[in-house]
Structure 1
Amino acid sequence: MNLARWTSLFMSTVGLGIAAALAVGTVVFLINPEVSPEQMGAEGIGYNALQTVIVGSLLGAFSHMGFFAYLTVNYFAQGIFRNKWIWLYAQVFLIIVVSVYAAVLRTPVGESFLPYALLPTLVVLGALLVSRIKVQQTNRASFVPTMFFMTAVTLLESVPALRQYNAYGTAMMVLPLFVCNAWQILRLHKIVGPSAKQEPAGRAS
């Protein structure tokens, strides 16, 4: 990956983060009964939109950092585990652990964690869709790495929001991160070139 491609991926990810944050922020604004356009006024709406743009750009940059951190971990893991199946099974195990952790983390003390399992369940379902698209674009070996990135990495990046017990705040962080992560993982094989399709099982491309 050369500098031009890296810059293009970074800028497009940040832009997508802003767009996703604005979309989520608009929906939250419309369904939130505690606020109304009349109460906020034009100045309040403009200030809120500016804040949302800033948050979206930061989430896009954060997602980009997480993406390259994952690629680095994936690269070293493949060097450490000479048997490709060990790292593959490790990713499946981590998907399960992080998904359960995300549900437990949001559960107030003394309550059942089952209702709070909705978010990680939705993330897993979304990750399945992204992974299916990735397989169609590359090969079957990309399924588990894509699932791991879209599930475990997205949920770990969202931990600050998960600790807030706030549905609006959680949506504002998780959805843009998911969209940005999906964009990057689906762009990866196009950026690194056609040789990515010949990668052995367990690689992220």
Structure 2
Amino acid sequence: MNSRKLVNFLFKTLIIGGIAGLVISFFVQAEVYAANLSPFNIMEILGLIVFNIGLGFTFSALSMTGFFAYLFIHRFGLGFFRSFWPAVQVLLIAFILFDLVYFPYKAADGETSLIWFIFMAAALLVYGLIIAQIKAKGTNKHAFIPALFLMVVMTTIEWVPGLQTEGSNYAWLMIAPLLACNTYQLLALHRVTKVDEKKTTEHTKKKETPTSAKKVGTSKA
């Protein structure tokens, strides 16, 4: 990956996070938007839009940090655990899903039903399974577990600040950009780092041509 591709990759991730942050705000802060529509207050609405896009950018940066940390963790895990690394990842996924149910429910002191937290963890798992399957089809079957690890474990770790706040608004405003950015980064990485086979073939042919011509000339002589 050259610097141009890297900058383009990071810029697209940032934009996706900003858009996701804005879109989810229309649902989470619907009452706030509605209050400024009647009477119409253009400055307040623009302020809300800019704020939520900026919030999305912030979570995009968090997602990018987590993604590159994941790449390091994955390489380290392969070197340290070797063939046991997939099993370790599965155990970590199960552990994180349990924590995603148990600790938020305990912090809520019974104010929120346990079913809600189970549904939240199940939804994240199902989404992760779908994205991991797409990643595996686009690359190879061995990418399934690492992809699921990113979508469940790394996303949850990045989401911790949102889970610790009172109410669910901030959690929703945070999870949408994180999922959108992690999904894009995961599915686009192999395309960004893919070697252009056509250019490589042409370059190889150009290097081989003078040698071939020289051999032909020698044989004639």
Q: TM range, normalised to the smaller chain?
A: 0.7 to 0.9
Cα deviation 1:87-125 (Å, max 9, x = unaligned) = 101111111111111222321124663322222211111
Identity %: 27
AA partner of residue 18 (structure 1) = G
The structural deviation recorded for 1:4 is 1.5
AA partner of residue 193 (structure 2) = V
Cα distance 1:100–1:76, how it changes in 2: closer, same or farther (>3 A)?
Answer: same
- Do 1:105 and 1:162's aligned partners in 2 also have CA atoms closer than 8 Å? no
- 1:54-203 correspondence to structure 2 within 5 Å: 54-82=54-82, 84=83, 86-107=84-105, 108-110=108-110, 113-193=114-194
- Do 1:20 and 1:56's aligned partners in 2 also have CA atoms closer than 8 Å? yes
The structural deviation recorded for 1:194 is 5.4
- Do 2:13 and 2:181's aligned partners in 1 also have CA atoms closer than 8 Å? yes
The structural deviation recorded for 1:128 is 1.1
Q: Hey, what's the Cα distance between the residues in 1 that align with 2:33 and 2:148?
A: 37
* TM-score, with structure 1 as normaliser: 0.86
- Do 2:59 and 2:178's aligned partners in 1 also have CA atoms closer than 8 Å? yes
Of residues 48-57 and 97-106 in structure 1, the stretch that sits farther from structure 2 once superposed is: 97-106
> Which 4+ runs in 1 deviate beyond 6 A?
none
- Do 1:138 and 1:189's aligned partners in 2 also have CA atoms closer than 8 Å? yes
- Cα RMSD for the two superposed structures: 2.0
Q: Hey, what's the Cα distance between the residues in 2 that align with 1:189 and 1:14?
A: 18
**1:2 corresponding residue in structure 2:** 2
- Do 1:102 and 1:162's aligned partners in 2 also have CA atoms closer than 8 Å? no
Q: Kindly tell me the number of residue pairs found equivalent between the two proteins.
A: 192
Consecutive unaligned residues of structure 2, counting only runs of 5 or more, are: 197-221
Consecutive unaligned residues of structure 1, counting only runs of 5 or more, are: 196-205
Cα deviation 1:144-194 (Å, max 9, x = unaligned) = 110000011101100000112422211110111001000000011112225
